[in-house]
């Protein structure tokens, strides 16, 4: 079957021919002897002004010498009102309803005609209006269609929503398609530039020592600038340590917003603790380095072999070098105060 076609039969070409209903891309059944199948195809009976109407005709079985002519029902356009052939198009100059006539002549024999109506609809009269909002505010800015549309009008915004108005909360381009009853769609768009940027981050994955996490704030319009806590100005920041990161975003209109994101340290990061240090001034293996543990997130206590506390530092910074202590074995206890996790072992000091 042919999609979106209207199908009509025309009378046969000789007194013993009979009219049959046919399809433009297939036959329900072959015509009986002495019968002719003629198809009149109109792709759509309602079009928008400026669209081309497509008309098709076919004859089965083919008749040598048969001709097909068309009258589009618009005499004001002169010679453009007529055409010949099985596939023709016509673009109407004005809105209205027109009667299209297809005429088939079998050689020098009689002619047979069939007509259909086609309606050319005007476009919806509509344009998009942005109601002012305080400059550099968080909005929202109300976007509405003017003039007021009749009952039954449909709206479709750039995100697929269908309300009669739209609340813009971010800078950017917004668009709407408006279709009034018995009219063709009108489309319009507007650029919103005077709202403060809306800045946020997606949830950030944890980080381990030696890794990096890319921090990407929400996408902003062209012309936006960025400044991070270290003064860098790229839209994306590579975080190499846990902590709080801050970005200031400035729109092309000069409005600014700020957002922060916390990069956590991973709970299951690999780590290593030394069992020997050599604080002898050669700049190698000088201090007790808790490699892979979150920096300054653990409390350290060190005991001698008799269990006496000889060193203690909250928020340990990897700087214990056994200053003032003799060579030998010492025992450490690392405590993560937030989680309560405890790590203990021994380390030998060799000078």
Give per-residue pLDDT as tens, 290-334.
999 999 999 999 999 999 999 999 999 999 999 999 999 999 999
Residue 4 has pLDDT above 50, yes or no: no
Q: Which of the four pLDDT bands, split at 50, 70 and 90, describes residue 13?
A: very low
Return the pLDDT at 34: 58
Return the pLDDT at 19: 33
Average pLDDT of the segment spanning 13-34: 40
CA distance 12 to 63: 12
Q: Is 153 exposed, middle or buried (0-12, 13-18, 19+ CB in 10 A)?
A: middle
Residue 29 has pLDDT above 50, yes or no: no
Q: Which of the four pLDDT bands, split at 50, 70 and 90, describes residue 33?
A: low
pLDDT digits (tens, 9 = 90+) for 53-95: 999 998 887 778 889 999 999 999 999 999 999 999 999 999 9
High-pLDDT (> 70) share of the chain, %: 90
CA distance 56 to 315: 84
CA distance 173 to 168: 10
| CATH code, 55 | 2.60.40.10
The two structure tokens encoding residue 55: 């008309």
Mean pLDDT of the chain: 89
Return the pLDDT at 59: 84
CA–CA distance from 45 to each of 120, 308, 335 (Å)?
8, 98, 80
- Per the structure, the complete domain to which residue 235 belongs is given by 213-263
Same domain, 284 and 339: yes
Return the pLDDT at 208: 96
pLDDT digits (tens, 9 = 90+) for 215-227: 999 999 889 999 9
Same domain, 141 and 254: no
| CATH code, 295 | 2.60.40
Q: Is residue 199 part of a domain?
A: no
Q: Which of the four pLDDT bands, split at 50, 70 and 90, describes residue 180?
A: very high
Q: Which of the four pLDDT bands, split at 50, 70 and 90, describes residue 106?
A: confident
Q: Is residue 66 part of a domain?
A: yes
Q: Is residue 271 part of a domain?
A: no
CA distance 124 to 147: 10
Q: Which of the four pLDDT bands, split at 50, 70 and 90, describes residue 11?
A: very low
CA angle 9, 11, 15 (to 5 degrees): 155
CA distance 123 to 94: 11
The two structure tokens encoding residue 295: 């920096």
φ, ψ (nearest 5 deg) of residue 323: -60, 130
CA–CA distance from 199 to each of 98, 202, 247 (Å)?
55, 10, 9
Same domain, 89 and 8: yes
Average pLDDT of the segment spanning 325-351: 96
Burial readout 190-227 (b: 16 or more C-beta within 10 A, e: otherwise): bebbbbbbbbebeebeebbbeeebebebeebbeebebb
Same domain, 108 and 10: yes
| Cβ atoms of residues 312 and 240 within 8 Å | no
CA distance 8 to 276: 97
Other Cβ atoms less than 10 A from the Cβ of 320: the count is 25
Average pLDDT of the segment spanning 151-161: 98
CA distance 36 to 18: 7
CA distance 323 to 273: 19
Q: Is residue 226 part of a domain?
A: yes
**DSSP secondary-structure letter at 315?**
S
Q: Which of the four pLDDT bands, split at 50, 70 and 90, describes residue 10?
A: very low
Q: Is residue 203 part of a domain?
A: no
pTM, two decimals, is: 0.63
Same domain, 142 and 254: no
Using DSSP's 3-state secondary structure scheme, residue 91 falls into strand
High-pLDDT (> 90) share of the chain, %: 78
Residue 18 has pLDDT above 50, yes or no: no
| Cβ atoms of residues 201 and 259 within 8 Å | yes
Return the pLDDT at 41: 85
């Amino acid at each position: 079957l042919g999609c979106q076609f209207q199908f009509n039969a025309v009378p046969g070409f000789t007194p013993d021919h009979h009219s049959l209903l046919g399809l433009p891309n297939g036959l329900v059944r072959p015509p009986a002897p002495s019968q002719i199948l003629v198809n009149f195809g109109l792709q759509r009976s309602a079009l928008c002004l400026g669209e081309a109407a497509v008309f098709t005709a076919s004859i089965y079985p083919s008749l040598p010498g048969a001709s097909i002519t068309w009258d589009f029902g618009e005499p004001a356009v002169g010679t453009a009102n007529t055409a010949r052939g099985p596939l023709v198009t016509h673009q109407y100059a004005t809105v209205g309803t027109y009667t299209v006539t297809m005429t088939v002549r079998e050689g020098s024999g009689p002619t047979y005609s069939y007509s259909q109506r086609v309606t050319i609809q005007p476009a919806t009269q509509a344009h998009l209006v942005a109601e002012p909002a305080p400059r550099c505010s968080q909005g929202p800015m109300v976007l509405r269609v003017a003039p007021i549309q009749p009952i039954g009008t449909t709206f479709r915004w750039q995100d697929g929503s269908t309300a009669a108005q739209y609340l813009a909360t971010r800078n950017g381009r917004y668009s709407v398609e408006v279709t009034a009853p018995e009219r063709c769609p009108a489309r319009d768009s507007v650029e919103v530039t005077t709202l403060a940027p809306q800045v946020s981050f997606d949830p950030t994955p944890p980080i381990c020592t030696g890794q990096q996490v890319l921090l990407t704030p929400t996408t902003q319009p062209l012309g936006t600038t960025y400044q991070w806590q270290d003064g860098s100005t790229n839209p994306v920041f590579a975080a190499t340590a846990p902590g709080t990161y801050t970005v200031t975003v400035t729109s092309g209109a000069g409005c600014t917003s700020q957002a922060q994101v916390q990069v956590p340290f991973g709970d299951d990061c690999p780590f290593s603790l030394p069992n020997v240090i050599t604080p002898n001034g050669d700049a190698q293996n000088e201090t007790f380095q808790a490699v892979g543990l979150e920096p300054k997130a653990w409390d350290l206590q060190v005991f001698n072999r008799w269990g006496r506390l000889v060193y203690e530092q909250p928020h340990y910074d990897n700087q214990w070098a056994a200053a003032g202590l003799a060579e030998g074995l010492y025992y450490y206890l690392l405590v993560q105060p937030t989680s309560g996790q405890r790590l203990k072992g021994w380390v030998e000091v060799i000078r």
